[in-house]
A and B are shown apart, each in its own frame.
Chain A
Amino acid sequence: AAGVIQSPRHLIKEKRETATLKCYPIPRHDTVYWYQQGPGQDPQFLISFYEKMQSDKGSIPDRFSAQQFSDYHSELNMSSLELGDSALYFCASRFGGAEAFFGQGTRLTVV
């Protein structure tokens, strides 16, 4: 069965650079979530989309933005990167109230 695809899997950026993370949800799933997980932390909700419209916003810095495109893939754009942005970034998709399936994550390292 198709799973949530995230790219890239690993990313190394320098401070103040920009990064774009991509997510391809499971087909026919209507909701996409982005989460950030710091080392030893639980996943923290950043933002979500329902049917390509922003649905909810969590603790997402103003330097970050996200969108969902007509083909349902989503991108998380991160600018002016800081050392503290180093984390594992997950995308998840869900259909209705069913279980949310997570991608394998993008490990971002800011140096």
Chain B
Amino acid sequence: AQKVTQAQTEISVVEKEDVTLDCVYETRDTTYYLFWYKQPPSGELVFLIRRNSFDEQNEISGRYSWNFQKSTSSFNFTITASQVVDSAVYFCALSSTGTASKLTFGTGTRLQVTL
């Protein structure tokens, strides 16, 4: 069975601070995909990134960066210079590489960015 753990239930930061959201996963698959989604107060689920298990290269996209470490089964997400618009619930998710494999979500981390 697959499992995703986001131990941080809620994080509150002041604008312009950096913040890291933790994600730890469990799977018996040798190949898999990892994802991050953002759910703003409006409710939609916005795709942020997908990572293949065989690609441990870290990725940076603007103020966002992701640190994938297979050895510790972690896929952490850092927002640099946070902004109020970053306030949302962030979900980490995992799926197998098999056809039509479902995504298993973590419980989410609520990020509150204040002025």
Contacts and interface: CB of A to CB of B under 8 A. Distances in A.
B102 A48 contact: yes
Contacts, number: 60
Nearest to B33: A97
Contacts of A92: 45, 103
Interface stretch (A14-22, A70-78, A101-109): A101-109
Most chain B CB neighbours (cut-off 10 Å) among A33, A100, A102, A107: A100
A97 B106 contact: no
B43 A88 contact: yes
A42 B91 CA distance: 8
Interface residues of B, number: 22
Contacts of A98: 50
Interface residue SS majority, chain B: loop
A99 B47 contact: yes
A37 B37 CA distance: 14
Interface string B97-115: 1011111111110000000
Contacts of A90: 45
Contacts of B50: 98-99
Contact of B103 (A41, A45, A105): A45
B44 interface: yes
